[in-house]
């Protein structure tokens, strides 16, 4: 479970996060929905410990991401926005590198990598250098890299960015499977359809604040509108 309590973050003049709070439960996919520049990425960066919040608290299974970042990272699988691979390493080596850095021994690592390659349909390109990979292949390898240590929590920043229809479908299927395994998944997106199709809980963020929070049904009940898009436009416009 990931809990975010009143996090603020300022970059010079710009107040990127103005006290964001929400909870992401295990076995559910939580979607951070918001327009570009709303603070989704900043929020995720605080959660995966590369940024420190100015105030507020965030925990991953009760581990504080600010005071115990290393312990928190062991629980997190992270797919940052436009994540890149090492072009001179093969898909397998790219994944293995992160596995080693996660502290896995090679005897633990080998079966895990094989299982991931199998599951994400990467076996064919496993030993090819990442240099010539398509965007879809890159995202798959980056996802495998994020999952190599078997994290209980998964943070994905705009994961379907640049993917074609087929790749997006596969990605959704895997995320649902991971949810079935009991993972706590947070993903950010500015695309309404994606969030509706995939997420159990939706957190709408605009101008660094949470403007609405709940399941798709709860939100519709609360706002009395039919489509999430209208809710989104309405809530963003009101702030």
Chain-centre distance of CA 81, in angstroms? 9
Does 85 bind other proteins (CB under 8 A)? Our answer is yes
Which range touches other proteins (CB under 8 A), out of 23-31, 73-81, 198-206, 209-217? 73-81
- For residues 113 and 99, is the Cβ–Cβ distance under 8 A? yes
Does 14 bind other proteins (CB under 8 A)? Our answer is no
Taking Cα atoms as reference points, which of 183, 185, 182, 151 lies closest to residue 71?
Answer: 151
d(CA 165, CA 142): 18
Smallest gap, in angstroms, from Cβ of residue 145 to other proteins?
A: 7
Length of the chain: 239
Smallest gap, in angstroms, from Cβ of residue 192 to other proteins?
A: 26
- For residues 203 and 30, is the Cβ–Cβ distance under 8 A? yes
d(CA 192, CA 216): 11
**Which residues, numbered 135-154, are part of the site for other proteins (CB under 8 A)?**
142, 145-146
* 55 versus 101: smaller Cβ distance to other proteins: 101
Query: Which position among 14, 50, 118, 123 is part of the footprint of other proteins (CB under 8 A)?
Result: 50
- For residues 149 and 74, is the Cβ–Cβ distance under 8 A? yes
Which range touches other proteins (CB under 8 A), out of 98-106, 116-124, 167-175, 217-225? 98-106
Does 76 bind other proteins (CB under 8 A)? Our answer is yes
Bridge partners (DSSP) of residue 205 are 210
Query: Which position among 28, 73, 92, 179 is part of the footprint of other proteins (CB under 8 A)?
Result: 73
Does 88 bind other proteins (CB under 8 A)? Our answer is yes
Ramachandran region, residue 19 (left: φ > 0; alpha: ψ -120 to 50; beta: rest): left
d(CA 45, CA 188): 11
Query: Which position among 98, 133, 174, 232 is part of the footprint of other proteins (CB under 8 A)?
Result: 98
* 52 versus 176: smaller Cβ distance to other proteins: 52
- For residues 4 and 61, is the Cβ–Cβ distance under 8 A? no
Instruction: Provide the CB-side half-sphere exposure for 180 (13 A, CA).
Output: 6
Integer angstrom CA distances of residue 195 from 11, 192, 229: 28, 5, 10
Smallest gap, in angstroms, from Cβ of residue 194 to other proteins?
A: 21
* 54 versus 234: smaller Cβ distance to other proteins: 54
Does 84 bind other proteins (CB under 8 A)? Our answer is yes
Query: Which position among 21, 102, 110, 161 is part of the footprint of other proteins (CB under 8 A)?
Result: 102
Query: Which position among 56, 61, 97, 119 is part of the footprint of other proteins (CB under 8 A)?
Result: 97
Q: Which residues in this chain contact other proteins in the complex, by CB under 8 A?
A: 45, 48-52, 70-71, 73-74, 76, 78-89, 93, 97-98, 100-103, 105, 129, 142, 145-146
């Amino acid at each position: 479970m990931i809990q975010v309590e009143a996090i603020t973050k300022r970059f010079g003049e710009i107040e990127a996060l103005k006290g964001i709070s929400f909870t992401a439960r295990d076995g559910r996919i939580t979607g951070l929905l918001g327009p570009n520049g709303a603070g989704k990425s900043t929020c995720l960066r605080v959660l995966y410990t590369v940024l420190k919040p100015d105030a507020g608290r965030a925990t991953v299974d009760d581990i504080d991401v600010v005071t115990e970042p290393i312990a928190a990272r062991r629980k997190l699988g992270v797919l940052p926005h436009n994540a890149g691979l090492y072009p001179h390493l093969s898909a397998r080596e790219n994944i293995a590198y992160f596995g080693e850095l996660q502290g896995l021994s090679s005897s633990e690592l080998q079966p895990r990598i094989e299982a991931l390659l199998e599951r994400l349909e990467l076996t064919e390109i496993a030993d090819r250098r990442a240099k010539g990979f398509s965007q879809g292949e890159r995202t798959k390898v980056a996802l495998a890299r994020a999952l190599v240590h078997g994290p209980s929590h998964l943070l994905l920043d705009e994961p379907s960015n640049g993917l074609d229809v087929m790749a997006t479908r596969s990605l959704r299927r895997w995320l649902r499977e991971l949810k079935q395994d009991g993972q706590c998944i947070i993903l950010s997106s500015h695309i309404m359809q994606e969030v509706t199709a995939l997420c159990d809980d939706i957190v709408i963020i605009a101008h660094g604040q949470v403007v609405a929070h709940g399941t798709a049904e709860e939100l519709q009940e609360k706002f009395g509108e039919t489509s999430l898009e209208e809710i989104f436009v309405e809530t963003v416009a009101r702030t």
